[in-house]
Structures are given as C-alpha cells and as structure tokens.
Amino acid sequence: MELFAQGLGHVLTLATFFAMLAGTVLGVMVGVLPGLGSVIGITMVLPFTYSMDQIPALALMLGIYCGSVYGGSITAIAINTPGTPQAAATALDGFPMAQRGEADLAIGWATAASTIGGLFSVAVLILAAPQLAAFSLNFTAIEFFALGVFALICIANVSRGAMAKGLLTGAIGLFLATVGADHVTGDMRFTFGSFEMSAGISLIPAIVGVFALSEVFTRVADNHKPKPQVVHNVGFRLPPLAEWKPRLGTLLKSCMIGSFVGALPGTGATTSAFISYSEARRSSRFRENFGKGEPSGIIAAESANNAVTGSAMVPTLALGIPGDPVTAVMLGTFIVHGLTPGPQLFLHHLDLVYAIFAILVVVNIMMFFCGALGAQLFTRALRIPEPLLMTMVVVIAIVGAYGVRGNPLDLVIAFLGGVGGFLLRRGGFPLAPLVIGMVLSETIENSLRQGLLLTRGSFLAFFERPIALGLFLLTATMVLWPILRWLKERHRASRENPQ
C-alpha cells in the first residue's frame, strides 16, 4: 500500500497527468473510429514517446491502450459497427438497445462495465502478477489448442435461434483466416496465384467491411421502407443501482474471465469478450433477453475486454513476453527507455512497477469521464440525417481498412466483406460468428500443429496434460449442456406430474 502511494506520487505530476489525459482521450477516439485501433493509436504517438521522460511516456501509451479497448464499444452501440474487433461482442446487445432510442443508457452500461473491468484487472495485476506469470507458463501450444476449441463454443452460444446459420458463418470465418501463408510450412493457400493475396485476409478490413459497409448497404437498400420513428436520447445515462444488483454475478464472472484470458500471452480482448458474452448468455438469469438489447450482454463483453488490459501487462512485465501487438509495441518503448521487463523488473525497479499500477488505476477512472463527456457528442451523431451519417461511416471505414497495412488489397477485402455481410444479413445469418471464427482460426490451427510437432504426432498425448484435459472436458460439458438441461427438466417434470 505504501508502495502504491509512492507510485501514485510519481504519477501525479503535471506532465504525467496530461500524458494520461491525452492518451485516454486519443485512445477513446481511435477506438471509436472503425479500423483505427489500439495498435495504430500507440504507433501514432511512438515518435513522441522517445523524447518524453519514462513515466509520462508509459502514461501516454497505457492511456491509449485502455481508452481504445473501451472506445470501440461506442461505435458498436451507436451504429452496429464495432470500432475495434475487441468490441464486436458489444454490438450484439448494445445496438438493439440503441435502436430502442436508449443509446445513452447503453453507453452508460458499457462505460461503467469497462471501468470496473479495467480496475478489477489492475487489482489482479497488483496482487498476483508474478504468480499469474508463472501459471501462464503452463500453457504450451497444447493448452492453447484446448482453449481455442473451448472458445469455439461461443459460436454456438451467440447463434442461438439461428444455429445452423451461425455455425455456417463461423465456419466461413475459420476458413477466411486460412488464406495466405501456411504458418508451419510457409506454403501459400487459397491465393489463386495472386501475390497480393499472400498477405492473407486481415481481421480489421474484414470487420470494417462485414459490419460497417454492410450496415450502410442494408440501410440504403431499406431506404424506401417506412422507418419506425425513434426518439434518440442524447447524452449519458448511468443505469440505476437496482438494475446492477441482479447482474453483479455476470459482472464479476466476466471480470475474472477477462483477467484470466488476458494473462495468457497470445489471446486477447476479442476472445475474452466473446467467451464472457457466451458464458453470460448460458448462465445469466436474463438469458432469454440476450440479443434483444439486454444490459447483461453489454456488461459481459465490456467488462471482459477491459479486464484484459491490466492482466495483459502480466506476461509483458513479469516475463518480457508481450501478449498482443499492443503490448509488443509498449515493450519496445520500455526498452527504449532503458527498462528491461522480466523477473528482474520486480526486484530492481519496483517503484516503476508501482507507478505503472498507479497509471492504470488513474487511466481507468479518466476513461469513465471521457466516456461520459464523449457520449454527449457521440449520441448526437445518431440524430444526424441518415444519408450524412452513412457517408461518414463509409469514409471512415475505408480509411481504417487501408490504414492498417497500407495494402490496397485491403480495400477490396473491405468492399467484398461489405457485400458478403449484406447478403448474410439479408439471409438472416448472424455476423458475430464470422469474427469469432476469424479470430480463433489461427490460434487453433497453429497450436494444433505445433502441439503435434511437440508430441511427435501423437494426439493421445494431448490428453495427458492436466490443464488441456480439463479444458477438453469443460468443452464437452458445454456442448452437452442443452441436453443435460433438457434431461434435468424432464426429470423434474416427471417428478412433479408422476402419472
């Protein structure tokens, strides 16, 4: 506690304060804009950080990181386009809520849940960084494969009501991610001899196309239909405490899922948000309302993706292993500033470690106020005449799709994604499984093949590892869950009516 107070002392200087504020505001902004995300935000400020002092430089980057993971939710809620892949799960219940005119309330839920998730994971980081880091080393390729397979269940859970269609879009997502170089052999797959295609279909242009452009196409196509007159509330509304109470279980569970997934290097906020959403949809007492604008869905997604931010620092700081591209860039900055992440950091630079903790706490609180103020602006966007709003979405989406890799092919991918997404929507196919498939495809395939190399080709050896076995069993239980529940209900029914 004393160390934390010291850390806070380091942080509450004018320079650091402004760095945190600027970082958080910028982070929320890049998060809101589809296509721009955490990585682009951090690389934008990278040149500035070289000339800054160590702590303000870290403050700036951590602000962007946390702000951007939250910011994506605003666009997901307002226009059904996740601003970042991390917020794809938020759109599932956030957008239906906004359609009812309650965008202000939806953003309130998302902002509060993000802040709580972020603070929860900072607490995890403070209390258990070295232990969690050591635990994460139990996850080899084999365990990542088991975790990836477990996460696939999310596809089924978000597709309820359109199961066959959901599984199909999930499979398309899994397939799309295999285009490009085969990572284990280096061979090219499904590129049809085109050199440009060898870079593969990257997630962000695909998401921008499938969500943003297809939303525009759909609205243009529906233009002749009479629209329900919805009065869009403007501003920011926090949900009352009584609404929180029945959802505390979901909140806590989602924070834990996010913190756990975040601590494993290589699995990020997108995966954790979907796992958490899908678990909430399975177990929440409001599960019947999911997909129709249920706050628990927003809570699950947003608290889990922000709970990744703190715990993703666990392997980064304690082992020197960045968990995702964002922490990789941050790690580079640490090194430029003469810091060497790894076990020694906690021995020799404890003051700095605590300064990082303090920055994370302050940044998460700032994020709340940024959201509250920003919502005044963003909710007004919903009152902009639709043709203008949609034109803006197209421009932003195209800039975002190109900006990631500077590859013109990404524009084609975004456009085709838009057409494909439009057709899928017309056919009543859920879009979220596509993202889940694309995100998990690489983890599952690579870790399976790395695992088979490690076991010299034996599948059986996968089941000899306790954590992997546990995850496989959990997966099996989840798959059988509806049957178990059906059996239980039949059993109860037969007991109540014993004729």
Partner 1 sequence: MKTVLTTLAALVAAVGTGLSAHAADFPAKPVTIIVPFAAGGGTDITTRTLAEPMAAALGGEIVVKNTAGAGGTIGAAETARARPDGYTVGMMPVGPMTTQPHLRELPYNPDSFDYICLAYTAPSSLVVRKDSPFEDLQDMIAYAKEHPGELNYGVQAVGSIPHVAGLGLAEATGAEFTFIPYKGSAPTFKAMLDGSVDMFVAHISFLTQNGDQVRSLAMFSSERVDGAEDLPTSGDQGVPMDFPIWGGIVAPKGIPDEARAALESACEEGIHSDAFTERMKTLRQPVAFMGSEEFEAFVRSEFDKNEKLLVGAGLGK
Nearer to partner 1, 162 or 469 (CB): 469
Q: In angstroms, what is the minimal distance from the CB of 140 to partner 1?
A: 5
Q: In angstroms, what is the minimal distance from the CB of 339 to partner 1?
A: 10
Nearer to partner 1, 249 or 325 (CB): 325
Nearer to partner 1, 198 or 218 (CB): 198
Q: At what angle do helices 14-32 and 38-51 cross, to 10 degrees?
A: 150
Nearer to partner 1, 406 or 428 (CB): 406
Q: In angstroms, what is the minimal distance from the CB of 467 to partner 1?
A: 11
Residue length of the chain? 499
Q: Under the rule (CB under 8 A), what is the footprint of partner 1?
A: 39-40, 42-43, 46-47, 50, 137-141, 180-181, 183-188, 195-196, 198-200, 202, 265-266, 315, 319-322, 325, 328-329, 332, 335-338, 340, 342-344, 405-407, 442, 446, 450, 453-454, 456
Q: In angstroms, what is the minimal distance from the CB of 386 to partner 1?
A: 35
Helices (H), 177-239: 203-207, 214-221
Q: In angstroms, what is the minimal distance from the CB of 342 to partner 1?
A: 6
Tokens 């009501």 found at? 161
Q: Are 209 and 414 in contact (CB under 8 A)?
A: yes
Alpha carbon distance 435, 437 (integer Å): 5
| Backbone phi and psi for residue 224, each to the nearest 5 degrees, phi listed first | -75, -20
Q: In angstroms, what is the minimal distance from the CB of 220 to partner 1?
A: 31
**Residue 354: other Cβ atoms inside 10 A:** 21
Nearer to partner 1, 108 or 315 (CB): 315
Structure tokens at 179: 């285009």
Alpha carbon distance 442, 173 (integer Å): 11
Alpha carbon distance 252, 235 (integer Å): 27
Nearer to partner 1, 239 or 342 (CB): 342
Nearer to partner 1, 186 or 240 (CB): 186
Q: In angstroms, what is the minimal distance from the CB of 476 to partner 1?
A: 25
Q: Which residues, including other chains, have CB under 8 Å from residue 80's CB and lie 6 or more apart?
A: 91, 95, 211, 215
Structure tokens at 345: 């950091």
Q: Are 244 and 57 in contact (CB under 8 A)?
A: no
Structure tokens at 229: 């007159």
